[in-house]
Every structure is written in C-alpha cells, then in structure tokens.
Amino acid sequence: MKKNLPDKAGHFGIFGGRFVPETLIYALDELGKEYAASKRDKKFRKELSDYLSEYAGRPTPLYLARRLSRYLGISRVYLKREDLLHTGAHKINNTLGQVLLAARMGKRRVIAETGAGQHGVATATVAALFGLECDIYMGSEDIKRQALNVLRMKLLGAKVISVESGTRTLKDAMTEALRDWVTNVRHTHYIIGTVAGPHPYPMMVRDFQAVIGKEARQQILRKEKRLPDYLVACVGGGSNAMGLFHPFFNDKNVKMIGVEAAGLGLSSGKHSASLVAGSPGVLHGCKSDVLEDKFGQIKNAHSIAAGLDYPGVGPEHAYYKEIKRAVYAAVSDKEALEGFKLLSEVEGIIPALESAHAIAYLKKAGRAVNKNSIVILCLSGRGDKDLHESH
C-alpha cells in the first residue's frame, strides 16, 4: 500500500486523473505547479498556518465526550471539534489554503460551488479577507433549504448565482462552476470545496484538510499515549474524512470508517451513497465511484444533509475502499436526525446534519465497533444551519 499517492497524473490506483476540456489543462497545470512550489515555500506555510490559527481558530479541541461514550457503551469517544472553527465547519481549512494560492497566481476573482452553503460561506469569507471578487454557484433547491447561508454570503460581498438545471443541487452547481472556469480561467481561480474534481484538486484539498488528522494524531497521543482504534467521519465529497484519515494511513491498527448518506434508504434509490451503492464512473473531471444508471447517466442524489447530497465522491476514497484501507457504511435521514438530537441532548453540542450521520453510525454500529475502544469522530460542522430541517 502506498501513502504518497496520487502519481504525477493524479491517479489513486485506477481512480482520479483528469477528464476535462482542453482549455482547462493549462490552468490545472499552472495550479499544480504553484501548489508544488508553495508547499516547499516556508513563507507560504507560515502564512497559511498563521491564518489557520489567528483567523480560523486552530488547533481545534479533541474533546472527550464522556456522556456520549457512556450512552453508546464505547470506552472513549473523542470529538474533533471542527464545528468550532470560524464559519462553523472544516471548509475554511481548504478555502484559506486555496485563496493564498489564488493571490500568488495573481487571480482577481474566485468562484465556488456550494451545497449546504458552508463552502460558499467559507469561500465568500476568504474572498472578503483578500479583497477578491467572488461568485458562488448554488442550486435553487439548496438556496431554499439554506436561506441563512445565502444571506451570509451576500453580506460578505459575494454574488450567489442560482442554478436551475438538473436537481438544482450541488452536482448542478459544480457543473456550472466548471463551465464558468473554462470561460474565465485567465483571471479566475475555482475553489473546489472537497477532495473531488480533476487533478490536482483531490490531492491539494486533502493536504489542506490533513491538518485535522495531524492535530488529532498529536492530541490523542498526548491524552491517551496511544493511537485510536477507530476514526469515524461523514463522507459527502469526502474532505473532512480524508483530512482525518490521511495522516493515519500507515498506522495499520487504526481502522477507518466513512459514513455516507442512505437518504430515504438504499433500496429507495433516493440516497447519496456513491461508495456503498455506486460504481466506477466519471463525474466533474475525475474517475471515482458515482451513482449512475445503466446508460451511464449520473443519477440524482438525495440526503437530508445538503452537504452530503452529491452523486460522487473523491477518488482517494474509492481507492481506500478498493484496497480495504477504509470501510464505508450508510446512515438514513431518519437515523441522522436521531444522531442530531442525541449529541445535542447528551453533550450540549448541536452538530451539522452531515456530522450527525457519523454520530448515528456509532449508535447503530453494534458489534461492528469494539466497545473497549478509543474512537475519534470528526465533528465536521455545527448545526445552526439545520434547525429548520430537524423537526
């Protein structure tokens, strides 16, 4: 098993790569080069780490959830508190990294796609911070579901562009954002919000989010003098999960569990479980597991959590699944709502509905999780945005 993937062309085994129009190849190469140079540049690393600590609020706590552990009958469940970050979710780790790159490349404008609105807010936030023009693509269905985040983006000076095609959700927003980028690539940087898309995005976003796992690894070693038995995280595109998982890749005894959205049930066809119930295919510029029909048409995804409502997933997760480095499970809307209530009631922490999928998994995992174990669960975001969906 190799940790230092992808290869030069962006492949994780058979997954990843670049399936994009010719006009984007130059931009992707430019981005790849800038990213590689920045990674080696001490000044860039210091600048990013200063923004992460002074502006976003890192490091986030690794909190021992005693009452939750007791309720679940698991020795110790720790929550990695990404919900405490500025803007309320892990997304800011990535947008800060990418906006620094955009500034280095001299781009005046940034664009992004958004589902729950969390990535749109995180992008609008860093655009304001750096004085860049900002357009956010968002499905009209999500605009309705996430009115508060739409107001936030506008207040931050971004333009929210309503997408009326397809299911009017995240997939369609990403398609439109890619289209915009093809046209405006000279002065525009596209900030993709998860570990998907054409190379170098899956690698680059993973590296920016890996701060989650690096911190968690140090914190658990300090608190427990040993590594955890399980890592658990929800998987939409897969960035919070990969951010937690990746720094533990070589720790053979650390088991990884990614939790997808089973929506109204896997057999209903209304879900977003690309890894659990999908198959290899191409979506938004890379090869990974996707939800498609027998003619290769991408299907509509469904989840009560707008941030999980996507019919694809990052290619590195498809690879982890194939080599069995991680296992993937799916949790329904109804179970996620139970997880949402549970964490609120026993810990006084209202989780994002996305993160509630990971909580719900632990609740129903039964013997799949050894009770005498240490678990780190990524609490990817806070739930204020979801209050209206939850009753």
Ligand X SMILES: *Cc1c(COP(=O)(O)O)cnc(C)c1O
116 binds ligand X (CB under 6 A): yes
Catalytic residue flag (residue 347): no
Return d(Cα 194, Cα 41) in angstroms, integer. Answer: 24
* Minimum CB distance to ligand X, residue 57 (Å): 15
Residue 18 or 206: the one with the smaller Cβ distance to ligand X is 206
Does 139 engage in binding with ligand X (CB under 6 A)?
no
Q: Which of 303, 332, 355, 380 is catalytic?
A: 380
Distances in whole angstroms, Cα of residue 275 to Cα of each of 41, 84, 181, 280: 36, 28, 28, 9
Q: Which of 352, 260, 365 is nearest to 314 (CA)?
A: 260
What is the distance between the alpha carbons of residues 106 and 300, in angstroms, rounded to a whole number? Answer: 37
Could you say whether residue 380 binds ligand X (CB under 6 A)? yes
Binding of residue 283 to ligand X (CB under 6 A): no
Please give the Cα distance from 327 to 179 (Å, whole number).
Answer: 34
Decide: is 204 part of the binding site for ligand X (CB under 6 A): no
Question: d(Cα 310, Cα 235) in Å, to the nearest integer?
Answer: 10
Nearest to ligand X of 228, 351 (CB atom):
351
Distance CA 97, CA 207 (A): 9
Single residue of 354, 356, 376, 377 touching ligand X by CB under 6 A: 354
Is 380 considered catalytic here?
Answer: yes
Binding segment toward ligand X, per CB under 6 A, in 12-20, 259-267, 296-304, 352-360: 352-360
Chain-centre distance of CA 356, in angstroms?
A: 14
Cβ proximity to ligand X: between 77 and 358 the closer is 358
Q: Is 244 in the site for ligand X (CB under 6 A)?
A: no
**Candidates 40-48, 52-60, 103-111, 348-356 — which segment interacts with ligand X by CB under 6 A?**
348-356
* Min CB(372)–ligand X separation in Å: 29
Name the closest residue to ligand X (Cβ): 381
User: What are the residues facing 379 on neighbouring strands?
Assistant: 81
- Cβ(212)–Cβ(93) below 8 Å: yes
C-beta neighbour count of 87 within 10 angstroms:
23
In this structure, the strands spanning 11-12 and 188-190 are unpaired
Q: Do the Cβ atoms of 16 and 202 come closer than 8 Å?
A: yes
CA distance 286 to 270: 23
Q: Are strands 62-64 and 374-379 parallel, antiparallel or unpaired?
A: unpaired
Residue matched to tokens 């999780």: 369
194 makes contact with ligand X (CB under 6 A): yes
**Is 91 part of the annotated catalytic residue set?**
yes
Question: Residue 363, Cα to own-chain centre: how many angstroms?
Answer: 22
Nearest approach in angstroms of CB 60 to ligand X is 13
Binding mask 170-189 for ligand X (x = CB under 6 A): --------------------
Q: If you ran DSSP here, which 8-state letter would residue 278 be given?
A: -
Q: How far is the CB of 134 from ligand X (least distance, A)?
A: 18
Pick the piece of the chain touching ligand X (CB under 6 A) from 28-36, 238-246, 288-296, 336-344: 238-246
Rounded to whole angstroms, the Cα distance separating 91 from 83 reads 10
In this chain, which of 17, 198, 238, 312 binds ligand X, going by CB under 6 A?
Answer: 238
Residue whose C-alpha is closest to residue 121's, from 382, 387, 389, 388: 382
For residue 228, state whether it binds ligand X (rule: CB under 6 A): no
**Binding pattern for the stretch 308-327 against ligand X, x by CB under 6 A and - elsewhere:** x-------------------
Q: Does 352 bind ligand X (CB under 6 A)?
A: yes
Candidates 80, 91, 107, 255; catalytic one: 91
Read off φ and ψ for residue 230, nearest 5 degrees.
-135, 145
User: Which residue is catalytic, options 113, 260, 292, 335?
Assistant: 113
Residue 240 makes contact with ligand X by CB under 6 A: yes
* Residue 184: strand, helix, or coil: helix
* Options 69, 175, 239, 272; binder of ligand X; rule CB under 6 A: 239
Tokens (6 digits) for 334: 């109804």
Q: Which residue among 17, 285, 311, 381 contacts ligand X (CB under 6 A)? A: 381
Q: Is 355 in the site for ligand X (CB under 6 A)?
A: yes
Instruction: Indicate which residues carry an active-site annotation.
Output: 91, 113, 380
Catalog residues that contact ligand X under the rule CB under 6 A. 89, 91, 116, 118-119, 194, 234-241, 307-308, 352, 354-355, 380-381
